[in-house]
Structure 1
């Protein structure tokens, strides 16, 4: 194993050991079943704390890259040097993001290692995850949704600069100004919503007012607001934008567009409480298809991208080494609530 410890590097020493093992496997200098130096041998040769070497070996063992044999030591376990390793960085793990995740896993196949990390819309946490996992993966699949503040706007280009463009896969959101040869499977939130609402104009005509419930405490792309507003103005509809259904009373002859399941449940509850019939007295249109929306209240009308297709398309592009930018399908699913 070719190992050089850089005392001045910002990369932790245990990560330098991990990278050396991965590099050895990828270049073919380390082979399956080959024995690695013992923890004591490595710590003595490179003047490392025993805990540092042990931490590196524990990480490699957890990832299935090496295995320990009692009384003998540590051995390379990975099947081949071209085993695909993917780091998936999501903002949160909601119901529809699980669909993307499992579709990605299924399409990539059992021979691929996919590690999932959550950045919780936090740019600093995202930057930390990139630094911590630099050079450990062939692909970095990123959902680039972050909180933006007027005083500290997020510079996405700078944030993604730590990932080589040929290793970057953007999911859900494209960044048109980003240079380099990267992959993107994305939604166009503003135009997708506008076109989906256009497709449902015959259903929306009977409502006097449109209300978008756009939470302020949960991060969603503001492009959604623009798409909604453009549609309402174009069709000369009275409209409003609320951030919650708390302390709000449902209104007759109004259609609601909701993003959060908690707001959806509250509107359905209030409609029942006031004896309103969904699809007649009041309308509900929800974002993001889930199995629950298909059966709730005899079916909730939904605007949604195809989350399973998003995961599968991203996986296919990685497996075939194609650097394409593909807009994911988006549409209206008609049910009784509108």
Structure 2
């Protein structure tokens, strides 16, 4: 039961079962968005409530916030919890404290978002995403970059060291290493859904709503191959060259297998092209560029003609593949970065499937 304060001090209008905080003049000081049933740490809820209302313009520059005593009393919180929240808000630059007077909003330093990008690796394709993301954000944010190298444990370390220090965490959730040492799903759940942005791959079962710009690897591959049936009709057999080191989504194989079964193609999935013996009427789908080079070499040393008896489709566009006239299937990496940045700036929490397409060339 709430304490019985005089009616001229507090008015009992509730949010999540808690009241607004009022001054003696009956003017509302600040209405905290707080849910005691939420699993998010209480201090984080305070931080997010204040940040959200500053960004929405509910809290104005130089506006005074409730004191630590007021918040702890009204929401049944320990003083340490409120102090921790205010300390984090001050460190992030959203509020300032004045000795003997209290805490005040300072939006002039809080207007620039702080974003942490956590990529699985920094390949040429990821650089395209990175620079497109930066360009779309412009001067509205500062961005730091960390690489987890597919390691769930390293990802956990990154999040533990940075949690609460950024407005948004943009994560590429590809993990194949140290899964016995850390549960990456639990680590992702520690990041508030409103601060988490998933990029390149979705993770089912996480709290929603949240922002996600992703590929659907199985559907993308299957649909791209279906759309190229006019070119693939001359091939009775298909081979996917997919390395077994675990750094590639297994959904690629699922989509490839679905297409071959649906359209009565003989098929095989192999780890590399080194020992591959070419057969007429075979089309290859190749992930690694080293395997692409090996296949091109084998075709040139054979009596077969590329694009006639042997077909090749490679993953992801490069200038060299364009010059060699190699057919590619690729996601639009630039669009991924731009879309993520635009939706983040608009504070939208939706899932968006990134464009995926085939570039037809003479190798098929």
Residue of structure 2 equivalent to 1:14? none
In structure 1, the gaps of 5 or more residues are 1-18, 31-77
Aligned-CA RMSD value: 2.5
- Structure 1's 116 and 25: CA in aligned 2 closer, same or farther, altered over 3 A? closer
Alignment of 1:75-224 (within 5 A): 80-147=109-176, 152=180, 155-224=183-252
CA shift for structure 1 position 321: 0.8
Q: In the TM superposition, what is the alpha-carbon distance from 1:249 to its structure 2 partner?
A: 3.1
Match of 2:342 in 1: 316
2:329 maps to 1:303: yes
Q: Is the 8 A contact 2:150 2:177 kept in 1?
A: no
Aligned counterpart, 2:96: 29
Does residue 334 of structure 1 match 2:363? no
Q: Could you say which structure has the greater relative contact order, defined with CA pairs below 8 angstroms and 6 or more residues apart?
A: 1
Given that 2:153 and 2:182 are in contact with CA atoms closer than 8 Å, whether structure 1 keeps it comes out as no
CA–CA separation in structure 2 for the residues paired with 1:234 and 1:180:
34
Residues 224 and 154 from structure 1, CA distance in 2 versus in 1: closer, same or farther, beyond 3 angstroms? farther
Larger radius of gyration: 2
Match of 1:165, SS state, is coil
Aligned 8 A contact 2:331 2:356 in 1: yes
Q: Is the 8 A contact 1:88 1:115 kept in 2?
A: yes
DSSP 3-state at the match of 2:249:
coil
Q: Secondary structure at the match of 1:88?
A: strand
Q: Evaluate the alpha carbon distance shift between residue 284 and residue 167 of structure 1 in structure 2; reply closer, same or farther with a 3 A threshold.
A: same
TM-score for both structures, normalised by structure 1: 0.75
Q: Deviations over 1:55-96 (max 9, x none)?
A: xxxxxxxxxxxxxxxxxxxxxxx9732211111111111121
Q: CA deviation at 1:123?
A: 0.5
- TM-aligned CA deviation for residue 180 of structure 1: 2.8
Determine if contact 1:104/1:312 at 8 Å carries over to the other structure: yes
Q: Is the 8 A contact 2:189 2:207 kept in 1?
A: no
- 3-state secondary structure, aligned to 1:276: coil
Q: Secondary structure at the match of 1:315?
A: helix
Give the Cα–Cα distance (whole angstroms) in 2 for the partners of residues 20 and 231 of structure 1: 55
Size of the aligned set, in residue pairs, is 272
Q: Matches of 2:218 and 2:312 in 1, distance apart?
A: 19
| SS of equivalent residue, structure 1 residue 251 | coil
* Secondary structure of residue in 1 paired with 2:358: strand
